[in-house]
């Protein structure tokens, strides 16, 4: 568990999130915006993307990298990305399971294209 004084210590936080991705919740705002820290957390537990900064959850390139670690992380990408047809198609190319995390609107568009 990350204590209050270590919330901004990257080395301590990295070790913690390697063991338990949910520890990202206890990290400082700065480290929740650190790509390496967040990807390490996501690799351990996809749900930890929820605790990442909105800036990262709304960054296409970062989210694509995160879903390479764990496709389930796509559910915690920003709604804007989950409603972006191009982003969803790219994610689905990596793993067809990503479609379930897309917005209903984009799911319908993709389904109509495939059928």
pLDDT per residue of the chain (115 residues) written in tens, 0 to 9: 898 999 999 999 999 999 999 999 999 999 999 999 999 999 999 999 999 999 999 999 999 999 888 888 999 999 999 999 999 998 888 888 889 999 999 999 988 877 7
Predicted pLDDT at 96 = 86
Return the exposure string of 43-68: e unless at least 16 CB atoms fall within 10 Å of the residue's CB, then b.
bbbbbbbbbbbeebbebbebbbbbbe
pLDDT at 113: 78
CA 57/CA 15 separation, integer angstroms: 22
């Amino acid at each position: 568990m990350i204590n209050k004084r270590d919330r901004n210590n990257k080395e301590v936080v990295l070790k913690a999130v390697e063991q338990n991705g949910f520890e990202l919740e206890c990290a400082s705002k700065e480290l929740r915006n650190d790509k390496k820290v967040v990807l390490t957390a996501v690799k351990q537990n996809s749900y930890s993307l929820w605790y990442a900064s909105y800036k990262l959850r709304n960054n296409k390139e970062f989210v694509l990298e995160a879903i390479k670690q764990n496709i389930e992380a796509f559910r915690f990408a920003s709604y804007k990305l989950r409603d972006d047809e191009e982003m969803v198609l790219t994610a689905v190319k990596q793993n067809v399971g990503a479609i379930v995390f897309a917005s209903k609107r984009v799911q319908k568009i993709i389904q109509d294209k495939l059928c």
